[in-house]
Structures are given as structure tokens and as C-alpha cells.
Structure 1
Amino acid sequence: MRKVLAILLPAMLFLSACGGASTPADFEDGKSAGAAETLESVEVTDAGTDTAPEVEFDAPLEITEQGVRTVTEGDGDVIEVGQNINVHVVSLNPEDGSPIQDSYAAGTPQTLPVDDQLKEVYPPLYEVLVGSKVGSQIAFAIPADPEQPQSQNTLLVLKVLSAESPAKKLSSEEVAELEEAGQLPTVTLDDEGVPSIEFPENEAPSDLVVKVIEEGTGEEVTEADTIAANYTGWSWQGEQFDSSFERGEPSEFPLSGVIPGWTQGLSGLKVGAKVLLVIPSEMAYGDAPAQGQPAGPLAFYVEIVEKVPQN
């Protein structure tokens, strides 16, 4: 049930948090922030959503601090604070324009939260993204981190493919409406308490569903707790991928160390509770998870057996 957290720019591209924001430069093309004058010569020729763009600039680029420039403005929805944006990214060596990494080639757009963490670590990028439009091509200059020997100056070009508000936990009233409309899975327990499930024909809900099948009577659990639970998990296509019932004993895990759908879905419940969790992809393992993890929206039947005492 553990999820290995991976954020696009730290893992693939975030090479430094050096360089403060300087006075924004003015460009006719769109927004800019930080040392954007470094990027004045950057030109991007779009090649669609599946092929990396052609990027040209006067090499070498002298990158000493962060700078961001909207090279071409999109015509889609405006990006808002708190949204998750899906982007394709090309990273280039600013000395000669040679490619470093390319998410187009992998065929997997990356998700980047436009949140306080981005604002703190990369303020120019945050400043430019907020208020920009989907479809924009954005150049981002990142200086090397002197404390990281493997770090190097990098030029990124991000294409914003979409912007969406993050999934939320539905209220009990909203869950009841989905159940009444027949849009939630139905869980059945056999004589030994082992669950099976039947899925509706509709698509999975886009938000987190917590359907309490039986209220607990024990202690309330919080995100800081470690719990023992029995559970079975299925993909939305109905394929079972994990079950503690088959192993014959509950599993223990800290609620702070599992997928967000479990953390948010189980926190606040009481020991003894039996629940159905329907978890959207972004609160589970994603649409392109690591090998061995289930993709897409998931459903879980969970019984909270106990709160595990901490030493």
C-alpha cells in the first residue's frame, strides 16, 4: 500500500533552488519573471502534443539565477492557484542546446501542482504559471546548485497540456447521491467476512468516495497513527490486485505513509469501521505507476482492526 512519491521537477529536472527573483523582464509574447532576460533569444516551434518542439536560442545561455519566460501563449483555460497542471517537458544543455531529457519520448505527460511548495522553491515559475493559459510554451532557466557536484545549468521548455483542480473527498451527502444513482461498486461479504465486489458500468468518480458500511466503535484514527487493517483492492476494471484476507492476517501501516486516498479516506474513522474507498487515480498510484502497482482509479474494502501502539 505504500506509494513512492515522485514529483516531476525534483526527480527529472529540478537541479537547483538557487537564484532569487529579479525584476521581471517585459516581452511581447507573454509573462516573465526572475532573470527572464537570459531567455530573450529562446524560440519554440510547436510540434503537437506527442512530439518534442524545436527549441532554438543563441548559445551559450548565461544562467546565473532562475528565469522564466512564456515564449508562446496558449489559448486554453487560465491556470489557477491550487490546480494540477499536466505538462510535457524538454530539458536542454544551455551551452549547446543538446537534449538532456524529454517526456515526449516517454509518452507520459507529467503532473505539476501549482502550490505553495512550487512557490517557495521556484517562485519565478510559480509567478508565470498562475494566470497563464493551457497550451503555453514556457522556458525556464535553472542555475546549477554549487552544493551539488552533479548539478548543471539547465534550460527547460514546458508545454502546458491541461489544468485541473485536484481531487477532493466527497461529503457523505455526495456519496449518498452517487449510491442512489447506482454509480458506486457493491461490496458483498461471505460467511467468513471475505469481500467480493460488483462494479457499475459508469466511469469511476473523479473525487474520493468514503462509503461507511459499518461504523466503528473504538478509538478514532488520525493521519499520525499506525493502524492494522484487513483489506482487498481492485482496479476499476474489477481485477483484484491485493488482499490481506488471502494472507490470513491484517496488515500494519502508518496512515502518513500510504496513498493519499487511504490517508484521507481512513483518517477520522474509528477502530472497527468497515468502509468502501473509491479512489481516483491522482490519489492512488497514477495512470502510469511503477511496475507492480495498479494503474487508474481503484476500489478498496477496508476494515480497521486496531490502532497500533507506538513506542
Structure 2
Amino acid sequence: MRKVLATLLLLLLALTACGEATTGRTAGDSGILDSVEVSGGSDDEAPTVEFDTPLDVTGPAVKTVVEGDGAEIEANQQITFRAVFLNTEDGASVGDTYSEGEPQALPVDDSLKEQDAELYEVLIGTKVGAQIAYTRPMEAVEGQPQSAPQQLLVLKVLSAEDPPPAPPEPEVLAPEDVQKLEDEGQLATFTFGEDGAPQVNVPDREPSEDLVVKVLEEGAGEVVTEADTITANYSGWRWEDGENFDSSYSRGEPADFPLNGVIQGWTEGLSGQKVGSKVMLEIPALWAYGDPAPQGAPAGALVFYVEIVAKAAAQ
């Protein structure tokens, strides 16, 4: 009997050891990630990642390759992470985010579930501290050129918390409050070169949480509505540093915009204005492109100079 019990104990220990090696959560074609090994590194230093090359990536593949020891990630939390990127053909490093400022944030919500179901599936229930290997065919990654190398991403989950409360929805600042800012010299002002292109002077204050609209010169044309397409000359700058990110003046001609198809700050600020008007818009981030903003778009609060040249009713 003792011999049988000893044999069963050894088998149990062996099964437990095997289970610990394969308990990582998986989704998609995760078998291609079985050779991925992660060693070393810390929350601020990229680990070493090794795997059998090349990886045959034919579909999404996600696998927890190193278990964490923190709390389990729950739906609708927001994680922070750092990541390394490797070429799936030869395992060479393509880059990492360990040396780039603050960790990146990712909401584990219905939006992620819809856009990247496999990653969402693996994150839910995985523990903070885990290292997760992830890849999908490069042609399925939005915004990536076809010439970009196929990549394996290994991300380390640093934290998982309930997301911060959403900031209050902006409003259009009342005319008397706009006048108060002007009286105090706290509105953005403009100077103009010989070519007529504006340059901005951003006041030394925090941007408004609401949309600031100042009509610099009122036009004599028709009133613009949200359903109209307008032709406008404009320039836009980041409030934070006064960097000019876009200008019709540099292209030498005005541009056409449907007012129901632009950032909300333009829709709210230009609807009700007259053709021929010249308008200053100080737009909070929530009514601009956000903060952080999508790739290629300016982040944070923005300031615009807009001259409404013409309008055409929407078709």
C-alpha cells in the first residue's frame, strides 16, 4: 500500500509540474508560440525573448508565456504595459517601449473585445506581472504598410485598475466668459504675414475645458448650419506648445469640409456663423482629437484661426 501511495504521489507531482508549464491562457493559433521563452528584464528593462524562427503566422495568436503574481485582470479595467517587438523571421528586435516615457495604457473593454477578441480573451483572468506573446498577420494590422516586417509582440502587464472617471463633457463657453478672457488678455491672438497667413500667440494659461469661440470679424454672408459643407481658409496649432500642425495657407488654397464630418469643436464653433466671418476656436481635447490622439493627429487642446469663405448645402 505504501508503495502504491508513493507512486501516486510521484505521478501527482509530475502532473502538477506539467500543469504549471502549460497554464498560460491562450487564444487563436497559439501553438505557434509554444517555443517562445522570456527571461530577465524588469518593469523598466526589456526582457530577452527567444523563439524558434521563423514563426508561421497565418492568424491571430496569443499566449501567456510567463505567469504573473498580481491580481487577475477583470473586464472593463485599464491595464498599463510595456512591450518588446521582434521580427518573426529571424527573432531580431524591432524595438521596445521600456525606454519610452510612461507605460502605455489599454482599456480591456468591449471596444477591445470587438477589435481584438483573442487578446481580450487572454487578458481577462491573466494576472498582473504576466508576459503575453501576441501576433497577427501584418496585413490585418490597421495602418501598417505592407512592407513592414511580420512582428511578435511580448507585452508585460504592469497594472490593472478601474479606469479614471470620464471628464465632464465640454460646453460652449458663454459669451460673457469669453469677453472676460479677452478683457484679461487671456485669448489667443494672431498676427499676419505679407502672404496673409496667420501666426498665433497662445496665452500663458491652462486651456479651457470648454469650447471658446471668438468672432474676430463678422461676415455678411449666409448663416452656416451643421448640415452645410463650408469652404475655409484655416490654420491650427497645439495649445501646449504653439506648434502649427495644419494650414490651408501653406497649400495656397482653401479647403472644403462638411461640418457634420469634422471634429466636434469645428461643428459646434462654426455652426451659426456667417460666410465671410473670421473666427478663433480654442478647442478642448475632448472636442478635438483626444489626448492621447490617434496616430498622426495632434493631441490635447487646439487653437484654430478659421475664415469661412463659402458654403454649400449638403447633398
| TM-score, length of structure 2 as denominator length | 0.55
**CA separation of 1:310 and 1:143: change in aligned 2, threshold 3 A:** closer
Q: What's the counterpart of residue 9 of structure 1? A: none
- Give the counterpart of 2:257 among 254, 271, 276: 254
Q: Please give the alpha-carbon distance, in whole angstroms, between the structure 1 residues aligned to 2:51 and 2:313.
A: 59
Alpha-carbon deviation of 1:73? 3.2
Q: 1:91 to 1:284 in 2, by over 3 A?
A: same
Residue 220 (structure 1) aligned to one of 208, 222, 225: 225
Aligned counterpart for 2:68 among listed residues 64, 73, 78: 73
CA–CA distance in structure 2, aligned partners of residues 88 and 283 of structure 1: 25
1:283 is the counterpart of 2:303 = no
Q: Give the distance between the partners of 1:165 and 1:248, measured in 2 at CA.
A: 41
User: Match of 1:36?
Assistant: 30
Q: Which has the higher contact order (CA 8 A, sep 6+)?
A: 1
Residue 233 of structure 1 pairs with residue 236 of structure 2: yes
The CA distance in 2 between the partners of 1:91 and 1:167, in whole Å, is 35
Residue 298 (structure 1) aligned to one of 293, 299, 302: 302
Partners of 2:235 and 2:146 lie apart in 1 by 45
Aligned length: 269
Question: Contact conserved, 2:202 with 2:242, CA < 8 A, in 1?
Answer: no
Q: Determine the C-alpha separation between the residues in 2 that align with 1:303 and 1:295.
A: 23
Q: CA deviation at 1:139?
A: 0.6
Q: Which amino acid aligns with 2:154?
A: V
Contact 2:238-2:245 within 8 A present in 1 as well: no
Cα RMSD between the aligned structures? Answer: 5.7
Aligned to 1:102: 95
Q: 1:201-229: per-residue Cα shift (whole Å, max 9, x none)?
A: 44x57x7x42233599824225xx64323
Cα deviation, residue 54, structure 1: 0.7
Q: Displacement, 1:124? A: 0.6
Write out per-residue CA displacement over residues 141-199 of structure 1, whole angstroms, 9 at most, x where no aligned residue: 435879x99798753212356786798783328x67xx7998x9523579x9x785443
Counterpart secondary structure, 1:266 = helix
- Match of residue 311 from structure 2: 307
Aligned-partner residue type, residue 54 of structure 1: T
The CA distance in 1 between the partners of 2:150 and 2:249, in whole Å, is 51
CA–CA separation in structure 1 for the residues paired with 2:266 and 2:114: 30
Q: Counterpart of 1:156?
A: 153
Name 1:19's counterpart in structure 2.
none
CA contact 1:187–1:301 (8 Å) conserved in 2: no
1:56 aligns with 2:45: no
Q: Which AA in structure 1 matches 2:281? A: L
Question: What amino acid sits opposite 2:237 in the alignment?
Answer: W
**How far apart are the structure 1 equivalents of 2:233 and 2:146?**
46
Q: Letter of the aligned partner of 2:265 in structure 1?
A: G
* TM-score, normalisation: structure 1: 0.56
Distance 1:238 1:76 in 2: 39
Counterpart in 2 of 1:264?
264
- Mapped contact 2:62–2:122 kept (Cα < 8 A): yes
Whole-Å separation in 1 of the counterparts to 2:71 and 2:260 = 36
Which stretches in structure 1 are left out of the alignment for 5+ residues? 1-24
Paired with 2:126 and 2:293, the residues of 1 have a C-alpha distance of 26
Alignment deviations for residues 5-54 of structure 1 (CA, whole Å, 9 cap, x no partner): xxxxxxxxxxxxxxxxxxxx997765432333443443323524664321
* Structure 2 counterparts to residues 199-210 of structure 1, below 5 A: 199-202=203-206, 204=207, 209-210=210-211
| In structure 2, C-alpha distance between the alignment counterparts of 1:243 and 1:145, rounded to whole Å | 29
